[in-house]
Structure 1
């Protein structure tokens, strides 16, 4: 499932034969949504659904909810807690016939089948050519989708970091031996 956020709309698309995200069952105490239970009465989302609205109507909040649900990280929801709300956010999504719930600061389970292509994703993974930063050059050929690919990349980054630290330590040890003391011998 992909959630693509544009200026004034969200496109919710399922890649299989049926819709993964069927409905927003409950949105309570998050962003613009005080207690949105009426959404449960709407027809279910289809394989391709468009959510449209003016600025400030909650589209970015919906994208943050989906992103948080995909990773299980509550930060995206908690930082959008409704101002002045007496209770913490409570969210219920229906995905493939089962409820995915955010309550008491946590999701009941992550849903890695949800992928959010938002401005943060584009900034981290796409080089538009308008502005090329060091991070873009480093990630120019690194577009990784799916939890297994991300886990492998995280392990690789850890190994590379350890190799860099080891090489730095070797250079420091080499610099500690004065050239005059080594004479004609190499550090090796």
Structure 2
């Protein structure tokens, strides 16, 4: 009996650790500023394949230490997101605090290249539940960089195609 209890304690003392790192990149015709505006607009996540909505007020600029809640498309329960670091027009790093047993770090990186603007989405999952969480979110995580690039391009195209509104009853009526 003593040997069984000591083996049980040793098994509990060992931690099963899994780690997963994936990076997805997408080239976009949108400018760095347009892509960065989509990344830091935490109130509008309509383009995001994993998130439905957040509780961030419109116009709030993300800064390190900001904690907000978001609702995923996987279920109605909210998750907490912690902004770790922000490098303006380059990098946004957040940590997702969803469930114990999984630690998720997400990095959005925007950089200008010869071919266009490159946006990358990196996911790092640590913990013993990471294989399960990855199997549930992998299909949508693969689409995040492409969806971000597409949303920034649509915003840029709508801004270019929008005609300026004429002034009514102003001093510029000739």
Determine which structure has the larger helix proportion and give its number: 1
Specify the TM-score bucket, using the shorter chain as the normaliser: under 0.3
Which structure has the higher relative contact order (CA within 8 Å, separation 6+)? 2
